C-alpha cells in the first residue's frame, strides 16, 4: 500500500512496486482526456541512487476491465523491447499503485512540440525551417526503425504508431527529438490485444484519410469489406501534417466552418475515438478525407520549392503515391538540411526552443491554449489546475 509524506504544504504520494520506491512529485503533462502523466523520483528499494521518471497511467479516467488493462500493459512493454532507437522515448517498465497501473518512462527535461508551437503562436512567430525539418527528420528516422523492427525470431512486426502528432513529439532542453507514446500502435506481436470494433485509434486530427475511410458510412463506401490492417504510410501522412503545421501554422481543419453539409453523414454511428479531438470527429473526418493537392499547394505557396515537394509527396491522398518508406522521406529531409541549413543541429534546436518559451513567458495577456504541460507557458488564472 502507498502512503503520503508531508512536504511543506504539499502531500506527496509514495508507493513501492516491482522492487522500486516511487515518490510522485507533480503532474508534468495532461492528455486531451485529462489523464495526467506524473513526474516521480524512483530508486531501488533500500537503495540510495535516485532517478527521475515519468508515470503514464493506463486508463486513469476510463474504467476498463482488468484483463484489458493487463493485456495493453503487457503488449506495450513487449513492443518497447523492440523499439530501441535514440529518437524513440524509452519505456523502463511498469508500476502499480493500488488499482492504478502505470508505464514507467524515461524523463528528459523539455517539452512537447505542441507546447513549442503554442509558444510560437503566442508571440506571433513561426519556427524556422531548420527547426521544422530537423524535428521531422528525427521523427522519420524513429518511424523507419519502428516500421522495420522484428521480433526475436526475425518476424516483421509491421508496427504503425497511429498517433504521430505534436503532442507525441518531445524535445529535450538539449535539443534531442523523440517520438513517444506507442500506446495506440498497431503491431503483429504474438497474442496482441485486438482493437475493439468501432474504435478509432490514435490522434484523429492527424490521421490518414484511408484510415478514416474505413469508418465511412456503408452507403458511401465503394464496397463492404473487412477493414484493412494499418499501413506504415499512414504514419508518413501524419508526419507530413506535422511538418506542414510547423512551417505554416496551417492544418487541414482550418477553417472548419465550410464543413457543415458533411457533418452528420460521414462516419458510422457508434464510432468511438481513443482520444477525443478538439473538433468533433463528424466535422473533422470529411475535411481530412477531402484534403487534396490543391489544399497542399495553397498552404505551402510561400515555402521553398524543395520543401513544397517533400510535403506534397508525404500528403498524397493515395498511399501508393506517398513516400514508400519513412527512410525515403528522412533522406529527402536530410538532403534539404545539408544544402540549406548545414549548421543547424541539436544545439540550435535547443536555443530556438528556449528563446520561444522565454518570449511567451514574458507575455502579460495571451490566448488560452490547452494546458497540456503546466508551468511551461503562462496560464490564464481562471484555467483549472493553473500553476502560478
CA distances to 210, 234, 265, 274 from 231, rounded to whole Å, are: 9, 6, 26, 19
Q: Which tens digit of pLDDT belongs to each residue from 95-105?
A: 999 888 899 99
Q: Residue 214 and residue 225: Cα distance in Å, rounded?
A: 9
Domain 3-106: CATH superfamily is Phosphorylase Kinase; domain 1 (3.30.200.20)
Closest Cα partner for 274 from 195, 167, 178?
195
Q: Residue 173 and residue 162: Cα distance in Å, rounded?
A: 26
In this structure, CATH architecture of domain 111-347: Orthogonal Bundle (1.10)
Per-residue pLDDT at 233? 97
Length of the chain: 388
Partners of 36 in the beta sheet? 30
Q: Which three cell numbers stand for residue 42?
A: 524512483
Q: Which tens digit of pLDDT belongs to each residue from 207-251?
A: 898 888 877 655 455 444 556 778 999 999 999 999 999 999 887
Q: So where are the chain's domains?
A: 3-106, 111-347
Whether 149 and 342 have beta carbons less than 8 Å apart is answered as: no
For helices 293-300 and 305-314, the axis angle rounded to 10 degrees is 150
Per-residue pLDDT at 3? 72
Q: Between 203 and 328, where is the model more confident?
A: 328
Q: Does the pLDDT of residue 39 top 80, yes or no?
A: yes
Partners of 40 in the beta sheet? 24, 53
Q: Does the pLDDT of residue 83 top 70, yes or no?
A: yes
Alpha helices, DSSP H only, in the chain? 66-80, 113-122, 129-148, 209-213, 233-248, 281-289, 293-300, 305-314, 326-340, 346-361
Q: Does the pLDDT of residue 131 top 50, yes or no?
A: yes
Amino acid at each position: 500500500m502507498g502512503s503520503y509524506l508531508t512536504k511543506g504544504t504539499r502531500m506527496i504520494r509514495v508507493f513501492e512496486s516491482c522492487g522500486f520506491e516511487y515518490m510522485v512529485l507533480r503532474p508534468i503533462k495532461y492528455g486531451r482526456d485529462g489523464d495526467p502523466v506524473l513526474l516521480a523520483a524512483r530508486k531501488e528499494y533500500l537503495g540510495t541512487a535516485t532517478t527521475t521518471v515519468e508515470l503514464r497511467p493506463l486508463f486513469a479516467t476510463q474504467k476498463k476491465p482488468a484483463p484489458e488493462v493487463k493485456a495493453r500493459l503487457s503488449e506495450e512493454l513487449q513492443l518497447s523491447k523492440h523499439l530501441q532507437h535514440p529518437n524513440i522515448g524509452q519505456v523502463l517498465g511498469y508500476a502499480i499503485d493500488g488499482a492504478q497501473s502505470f508505464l514507467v518512462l524515461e524523463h528528459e527535461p523539455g517539452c512537447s512540440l505542441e507546447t513549442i508551437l503554442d509558444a510560437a503562436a503566442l508571440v506571433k512567430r513561426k519556427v524556422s525551417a531548420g527547426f521544422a525539418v530537423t524535428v521531422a527528420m528525427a521523427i522519420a528516422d524513429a518511424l523507419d526503425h519502428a516500421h522495420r523492427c522484428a521480433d526475436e525470431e526475425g518476424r516483421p512486426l509491421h508496427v504503425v504508431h497511429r498517433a504521430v502528432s505534436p503532442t507525441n513529439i518531445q524535445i529535450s532542453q538539449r535539443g534531442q527529438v523523440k517520438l513517444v507514446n506507442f500506446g495506440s500502435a498497431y503491431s503483429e506481436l504474438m497474442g496482441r490485444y485486438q482493437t475493439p470494433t468501432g474504435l478509432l485509434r490514435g490522434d484523429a486530427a492527424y490521421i490518414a484519410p484511408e484510415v478514416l475511410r474505413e469508418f465511412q458510412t456503408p452507403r458511401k463506401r465503394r464496397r463492404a469489406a473487412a477493414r484493412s490492417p494499418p499501413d506504415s504510410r499512414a504514419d508518413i501522412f501524419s508526419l507530413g501534417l506535422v511538418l506542414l503545421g510547423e512551417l505554416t501554422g496551417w492544418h487541414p481543419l482550418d477553417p472548419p466552418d465550410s464543413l457543415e453539409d458533411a457533418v452528420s453523414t460521414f462516419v458510422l454511428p457508434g464510432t468511438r475515438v481513443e482520444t477525443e479531438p478538439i473538433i468533433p470527429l463528424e466535422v473533422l473526418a470529411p475535411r481530412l478525407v477531402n484534403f487534396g493537392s490543391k489544399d497542399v499547394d495553397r498552404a505551402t505557396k510561400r515555402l521553398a520549392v524543395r520543401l513544397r515537394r517533400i510535403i506534397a509527396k508525404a500528403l498524397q491522398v493515395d498511399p501508393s503515391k506517398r513516400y514508400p518508406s519513412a527512410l525515403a522521406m528522412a533522406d529527402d529531409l536530410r538532403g534539404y538540411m545539408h544544402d540549406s541549413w548545414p549548421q543547424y543541429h541539436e544545439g540550435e534546436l535547443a536555443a530556438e526552443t528556449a528563446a520561444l518559451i522565454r518570449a511567451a513567458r514574458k507575455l502579460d495577456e495571451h490566448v488560452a491554449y490547452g494546458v497540456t504541460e503546466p508551468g511551461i507557458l503562462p496560464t490564464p488564472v481562471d484555467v483549472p489546475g493553473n500553476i502560478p
